[in-house]
Amino acid sequence: MNHLADLPFWAAWLVAAFLFIGGSLTLIGSFGLYRLRSFYDRIHAPTLGTSWGTAAVVLASIICFSVLQSRPVFQEILVGIFVTITTPVTLMLLGRAALYRDRSENNPNVPAVDPPEGILDQPKMGDKLESVEQCSSKHE
Amino acid sequence: MNKILPYPLLIIFLIIMWLSLTSFTLGQLLIATIVALIAAQAMAALQPAKARLKRWKSLLKLTGIVLHDIVRSNIAVTKIILQGNKRARKSGFMTIPLDLRDPTGLTALAIIITSTPGTAWLDYNSARGILLLHIFDLVDETVWLDLIKNRYERLLLEIFE
């Protein structure tokens, strides 16, 4: 990576600053994922990495290669766009799976299905699961 | 609908994307055009709901607002995670009745809510138009209701409906 020595002073600082911001945010997000206790709290933490964590690294890359090649380099924006538009898919999938499980276990901490219920949303095995829950709580 | 050139914007974006990922040469332009035309035909075969952008001005305004909010909530969530358990924090669910029905508008709202740290889109009841969110720092429900309804949804309604 010798060509990086050609990077002017101001650009080097700017790139370093953005890389630092992006890296720190992603690290803090991962730390939050480890630290937080409930599932629903945990899904918030990695969004730090998918929003400004990604954006800052993308900006650093754009600045670095635009300055080095003396022409605007913008294909990194595609990384940002695809990360942004695909995150909701995974997040909703995880969120709804968790919600479905908690509802079918009659967890009192999650909101109930609001009427009119879809056929698929209806927890059918509520009674059975409740008895299982009671058994397990006795063991505790 | 135009049979030979469906989705002209998609074709242009695909060509630009292909060229920026490879190189701006005549050969690549030819391949890019062929790929984009086939992709547009495939898209037309899927028959997705046609999105219509009504007001570009509102779209620009919304983009600005969202970028600003993402920076702000990044800082807020970072603070909460680093503070740990020193401060009593209450997270929780909240439901929001939406007036927005346009699928593209709802997609945009989902992307906005997801990419803003601190809010997560969990469920949407399409029959009643009720959105279920999980809020990381739920101090005051009316603040969040106001944020989604007045800050995002009003503009999205202007843009898509």
What pLDDT, in 10s, does the model give residues B15-32?
Answer: 988 888 888 889 999 999
Q: pTM for the full model?
A: 0.78
**Which residues on chain B are in Cβ contact (under 8 Å) with A116?**
127-128
What is the token pair recorded at A10?
């101001």
Q: Are B62 and B34 found together in one domain?
A: no
In a domain, residue B1? The reply is no
In a domain, residue B21? The reply is yes
- How buried is residue B90: exposed, middle or buried, by Cβ count under 10 Å (0-12/13-18/19+)? exposed
In a domain, residue B51? The reply is no
Q: Are B22 and B93 found together in one domain?
A: no
Q: Are B69 and B32 found together in one domain?
A: no
- Domain residues for A8? 2-110+125-139
What sign has the CA pseudo-torsion B46, B52, B57, B63?
Answer: negative
Q: Are B40 and B94 found together in one domain?
A: no
Q: Are B106 and B149 found together in one domain?
A: yes
Task: For residues B12 and B28, give the distance between their C-alpha atoms in angstroms, rounded to a whole number.
Answer: 14
**Which residues on chain B are in Cβ contact (under 8 Å) with A74?**
20
Cβ <8 Å between B122 and A92: yes
Q: Are B39 and B92 found together in one domain?
A: no
Lowest mean pLDDT among A6-15, A25-34, A122-131, B89-98: A122-131
What is the token pair recorded at B57?
């001005």
For residue A130, what pLDDT band results from cuts at 50, 70 and 90?
Answer: very low
Task: For residues B143 and B141, give the distance between their C-alpha atoms in angstroms, rounded to a whole number.
Answer: 5
In a domain, residue A115? The reply is no
**Which residues on chain A are in Cβ contact (under 8 Å) with B113?**
88
What is the token pair recorded at B68?
């600003």
What sign has the CA pseudo-torsion A111, A115, A119, A123?
Answer: positive
Between residues B81 and B6, which one has the greater pLDDT? B81
Question: What's the structural domain count of chain A?
Answer: 1
At residue B157's C-alpha, the angle toward residues B153 and B161, to 5°, is 155
Say if A40 is an interface residue toward chain B (CB within 8 Å).
yes
In a domain, residue A13? The reply is yes
Is the pLDDT at B2 greater than 70? The verdict is no
Is the pLDDT at B148 greater than 90? The verdict is no
In a domain, residue B101? The reply is yes
φ and ψ at B130, to 5 degrees? -110, 130
- Identify the pLDDT of residue B4: 66
Which of A28, A75, A78 has its CB closest to that of B81? A28
In a domain, residue B3? The reply is no
Q: Which helix (H) or strand (E) holds B41?
A: helix B26-46
CB burial of A91-109 (b: ≥16 within 10 Å; e: otherwise) equals: bbeebbebbbebbbbeeee
Tell how far CA B59 is from the center of its chain: 11
Q: Cα-atom radius of gyration of chain B, to the nearest Å?
A: 20
What pLDDT, in 10s, does the model give residues B45-73?
Answer: 887 777 677 778 888 898 999 989 989 98
Nearest to B124 by CA among B114, B137, B110: B110
Is the pLDDT at A135 greater than 60? The verdict is no
Q: Are B82 and B111 found together in one domain?
A: yes
Cβ <8 Å between A110 and B93: yes
In a domain, residue B110? The reply is yes
- Domain residues for B17? 8-46
> Least CA distance to A46: which residue of chain B?
B117
Tell how far CA A37 is from the center of its chain: 16
What is the token pair recorded at B29?
């332009």
Question: What's the structural domain count of chain B?
Answer: 2
Q: Are B68 and B137 found together in one domain?
A: yes
In a domain, residue B122? The reply is yes
**Which residues on chain A are in Cβ contact (under 8 Å) with B120?**
40, 43-44, 47, 91, 95
ipTM score assigned to the predicted complex: 0.76
Which of B20, B95, B123 has its CB closest to that of A99? B123
Q: Are B24 and B68 found together in one domain?
A: no
In a domain, residue A116? The reply is no
* Length of chain A measured in residues: 140
CB burial of B59-73 (b: ≥16 within 10 Å; e: otherwise) equals: beebeeebeebbeeb
Q: Residues 16-55, chain B: which have Cβ within 8 Å of A? A: 17, 20-21
Say if A44 is an interface residue toward chain B (CB within 8 Å).
yes
What is the token pair recorded at A62?
């754009």
Question: Which of B73, B83, B112, B134 should be substituted to probe chain A, the one whose Cβ sees the most A Cβ atoms within 10 Å?
Answer: B134
In a domain, residue A61? The reply is yes
CA distance B105 to chain A (A): 13
- Identify the pLDDT of residue A16: 93
In a domain, residue B2? The reply is no
List all residues 6 or more positions away from A74 whose beta carbon is below 8 Å from its beta carbon.
A62, B20
In a domain, residue A117? The reply is no
Q: Are B62 and B16 found together in one domain?
A: no
Task: For residues A29 and A32, give the distance between their C-alpha atoms in angstroms, rounded to a whole number.
Answer: 5
